[in-house]
Amino acid sequence: MLNTIHLRTFLTVVDAGSYSAAAQRLHMSQPAVSQQIRALEEQLGNIRLFRRVGQRMAPTHAGEELLPSARELVQLAERAEQNIVALRGQLTGRVLVGCTASSGERLLPRLLAIFHSRHPAVSIEMGIGTTDDLLDAVAERRIGLALLEDPPRRRGLEAITIGSEPLLLIAPSGHPLLKQNQVPPGVLRDHPLALPRAGNVLRRIIEDGLRRRSLTPTDLQLALESDSVTTLIEAVRAGFGMAFVPRSCLPARASGYDTVELAGNPLHQEWFLVRPRERGGPRASHALIDFLLDDETMALWRKLGITPERKA
């Protein structure tokens, strides 16, 4: 009979792309991961499950054949464990959550920490990726849900609107525009900007918002590109230029920068929770979704700078 611990290790290597990355996720040593994969290969008749492709470990044909069954067996084992523990009134299990580097990486951990304080027996793994990669992961049930700035246009996925927040234009301390009230958007042509990279959802939101204010991407002076909002904030502090940043990502106390009062309505971005449309999966994933959508957490979203779609 296949060992579910070995199967879980196999799935982690597939998702992580290497033994070393899998070892970090599983809090194991790399030799221990290799040993478990070898044991699984021996149990299957000494058949290789992985091959090296560049810097990644990719599943062989046999590994691809094993993949769906391995996911199903591990999910069944986790569900059985959760059901037994639930008899003692304690929620347990493992939740895999994804978000983008553009802003979710600063927002989501604050909420996950509260959830974990209420359910300490639940193990949480948070992954950072592009929107397309995260949608693939949700669709394939490699993660239970994702927090995204763009609703999916794919069958089999459900997007729940959390709310929206303004994108604030920040500038280095001492910047001349900080002395002005209601700066016309056209003035941005004359000042360098730090922006997310092309293809990033946040970059598209910014460019679409500026187009509505008669500014095209070619009008902008691009000084730096990064998908990390933390990097954009630090770039502003360093004097690279100005940046549009989600309000929830700004520290409580500004240091080295301030907000420019841009004329007109501010640019906004929306937040969505994305999950498989067909229900199922671990109880812990459903509990986390319920937590993120309950009235108490909606009040937390508001405190973080996001206006919920429904009243808290």
Tens place of pLDDT per residue across the chain (312 aa): 788 889 999 999 999 999 999 998 888 888 999 999 999 999 899 999 999 998 899 999 999 999 999 998 888 887 777 667 665 667 788 889 999 887 677 788 888 999 998 888 888 988 888 888 999 999 988 899 999 988 888 888 999 999 999 999 999 999 999 988 889 999 999 999 999 999 888 999 999 999 999 999 999 999 999 988 889 999 999 999 999 999 888 887 878 999 999 898 889 999 999 999 887 777 888 899 999 998 889 888 888 888 887 544
Shared domain for 256 and 120, answered yes or no, is yes
Listing DSSP states for 167-234 in one string gives EEEEEETT-GGGGSSSB-GGGGGGSEEEEPPTT-HHHHHHHHHHHTTT--GGGSEEEEE-S-HHHHHH
> In whole angstroms, what is the distance from residue 234 CA to residue 228 CA?
10
Count of beta carbons in the 10 Å neighbourhood of residue 214:
9
Task: Say what the pLDDT of residue 100 is.
Answer: 87
> In whole angstroms, what is the distance from residue 274 CA to residue 290 CA?
13
Shared domain for 51 and 7, answered yes or no, is yes
Q: What is the pTM of this model?
A: 0.68
Count of beta carbons in the 10 Å neighbourhood of residue 50:
19
Shared domain for 94 and 197, answered yes or no, is yes
- The answer to whether residue 31 is domain-embedded is yes
Task: Say what the pLDDT of residue 312 is.
Answer: 42
- The residue segments making up the domain with residue 41 are 1-79
Task: Say what the pLDDT of residue 215 is.
Answer: 93
Shared domain for 284 and 141, answered yes or no, is yes
Q: How many domains does the chain have?
A: 2
- The answer to whether residue 2 is domain-embedded is yes
**79, 100, 121: which is the final residue of a domain?**
79
Shared domain for 130 and 230, answered yes or no, is yes
Percent of the chain that is helix, strand, coil (3-state, to 5):
45, 25, 30
CATH code, domain with 3: 1.10.10.10
**Spatial contact of 67 and 2, defined as CB atoms under 8 Å apart:** no
Shared domain for 142 and 195, answered yes or no, is yes
- The answer to whether residue 22 is domain-embedded is yes
Shared domain for 135 and 33, answered yes or no, is no
**79, 100, 125: which is the final residue of a domain?**
79
Shared domain for 105 and 246, answered yes or no, is yes
| Residue 245 amino acid letter | V
- The answer to whether residue 221 is domain-embedded is yes
Q: Name the residue among 12, 218, 11 with its Cα closest to residue 207.
A: 218
Shared domain for 72 and 110, answered yes or no, is no
Rounded (10°) angle between helices 30-43 and 19-26:
110
- The answer to whether residue 85 is domain-embedded is no
CATH code, domain with 278: 3.40.190.290
**Spatial contact of 189 and 215, defined as CB atoms under 8 Å apart:** yes
- The answer to whether residue 193 is domain-embedded is yes
- The answer to whether residue 207 is domain-embedded is yes
| Residue 80 amino acid letter | A
**57, 79, 101: which is the final residue of a domain?**
79
- The answer to whether residue 84 is domain-embedded is no
Shared domain for 50 and 102, answered yes or no, is no
Shared domain for 181 and 120, answered yes or no, is yes
Shared domain for 40 and 15, answered yes or no, is yes
